[in-house]
Amino acid sequence: MTSVGERAVNGKRELTEGLAAQILEHIRGGGLSEGTHLTAQELSERFSVSRFPIGQALQLLAAKGVLTHRPNRGYFVCDIGNASPESLGLAARDDTTSAYFRIAEDHLHGRLPDPASEAHLKETYGVTKAQLNTVLGRIAQEGWAERRPGYGWSFSPMLTTPESLEQTYRVRLALEPAALLEPTYRLDPDVAARCREAELRLLAGAIETDSADALHERGVRFHEAIIGASGNPFFLEAVRRINRVRRLLSYRSMVDRRRYRQQCEEHLEILDLLEQRKNEEASQALRRHLQHTIGNLQKIRPILEP
């Protein structure tokens, strides 16, 4: 029988491995190049945990050769090649990610009690307390659940129908092309280079091998990067709000990945035009890109139905 002490040690190990796997997916999905500096503060905010477990996860990734540690400077990305959570033995991520998507599906189908106690969630999804904390921290950071004072968690209303997802794209169709025409627009060359590297990596084969959350993050990062360059923070805030509420249906849509090659090629075309400062043409290309996405939603409608 496992002792309390052993369970605590196992829980800490699972949390560390789960965070390490999420950081690796963050590196892969974001196309972070070799030499990129990772800070514990930024990662703790992204994954809604304290800096201590982030520091342990960074140490683990450094031990596995994914990161290099430079004294008094921090952690930097190495050439990760085809490294994945599975190839590095970060099995804890499988459990937390599986629980995350099962909770997401149950939320989309209205099967979660409101509020839901942590004891109920642990038993229903077969996870440890550390794993559940990781999952709920991620969900809270994404904005579709919050802790109830004194009792459990409440899950916020999210998009649950193909029609509602299409509506978000129509709002983006009105906003995003306009952002590229702002007089203060300036796309940082380093940001453009990271976006390009992420797209080329997908075209080289990662479309088929990346997880659904890594694919979603790649798309979110691209659009938020080019909109964030507008110099008008209200465009970026609006797009971020939309991205939060469409996340769950976006994951489900990734069952069919055939359209991703076209999306990557369109992203690269938009980048080319922006780097040439042809913003009017880039705006038109972005409009066409979003229209193609709306058209593709019709083709995969059965996947999106609750």
Highest mean pLDDT among 27-41, 54-68, 239-253: 54-68
**Is this structure's pTM higher than 0.85?**
no
Is the pLDDT reported for residue 82 higher than 50?
yes
Residue indicated by tokens 């090659």 = 261
How far apart, in whole angstroms, are the C-alpha atoms of residue 297 and residue 163?
Answer: 9
In this prediction, residue 30 carries a pLDDT of 67
Is the pLDDT reported for residue 255 higher than 70?
no
- Asked if 64 and 84 touch (Cβ cutoff 8 Å), the reply is no
In this prediction, residue 101 carries a pLDDT of 81
Higher pLDDT: 234 or 90? It is 234
Higher pLDDT: 19 or 60? It is 60
- Asked if 16 and 60 touch (Cβ cutoff 8 Å), the reply is yes
CA 170 → CA 232, 244, 249, 279, distances in Å? 20, 16, 16, 21
Q: What is the number of other CB atoms lying within 10 angstroms of the CB of residue 4? A: 7
Beta bridge partners of 147: 153
Is the pLDDT reported for residue 95 higher than 90?
no
CA 250 → CA 14, 19, 194, distances in Å? 27, 22, 22
Q: Which of 13-17, 38-42, 288-292 has the lowest mean pLDDT?
A: 13-17
Identify the CA nearest to 157 among candidates 108, 103, 113, 120. 108
| Residue 249's pLDDT band (cuts 50, 70, 90) | low
